[in-house]
């Protein structure tokens, strides 16, 4: 049996078990969960979900690193992409974002650095969304002109 077949079987088993857990949680009801009566079963399911998520993330990271190490061109492209992302993040933080100390509703204070970091994150999100939209538009137009 090859690895792909084994992974499909494991994915199917995890999917079926997840459906069983979901049905169990839904049948418990919101009121029982809010009252804390089903805390032990829900916590157990949450820990199982965390373990499955951890395994999935670990598998993705390991397979990605394996593929990058064995493929020099892919590694070069990945490093260029990461470098461009870091450069864009630095431009957003140092050139575009400004920080202002702000009191919050709960009485705490958002420091100038935290405010600048939030602003930089917003600018980075807007820049990445714009890049994605322009890229989709350019390739969509290019594809329609080639037909």
Q: 140: pLDDT confidence band, cut at 50, 70 and 90?
A: very high
Alpha helices in 29-111 (DSSP H): 30-35, 39-70, 72-91
Across-strand partners of 37? Answer: none
Q: What is the pLDDT of residues 113-130, one digit of tens each?
A: 999 999 999 999 999 999
Where do the structural domains in the chain lie, given as residue ranges?
A: 3-70, 73-146
DSSP 36: T
pTM score over 0.75: no
């Amino acid at each position: 049996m090859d690895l792909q077949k084994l992974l499909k079987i494991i994915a199917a088993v995890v999917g079926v078990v997840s459906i069983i857990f979901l049905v169990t949680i839904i049948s418990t009801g919101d009121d029982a969960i809010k009252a804390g009566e089903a805390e032990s079963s829900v916590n157990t399911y949450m820990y199982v979900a965390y373990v499955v998520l951890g395994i999935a993330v670990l598998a993705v990271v390991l397979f990605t690193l394996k593929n990058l190490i064995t493929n020099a061109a892919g590694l070069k492209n990945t490093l260029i992409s990461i470098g461009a992302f870091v450069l864009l993040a630095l431009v957003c933080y140092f050139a575009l974002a400004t920080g202002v100390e702000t009191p919050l509703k709960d009485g705490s204070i958002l420091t100038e650095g935290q405010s600048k970091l939030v602003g930089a994150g917003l600018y980075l999100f807007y820049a990445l969304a714009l890049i994605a939209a322009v890229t989709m538009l350019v390739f969509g137009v290019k594809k329609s002109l080639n037909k």
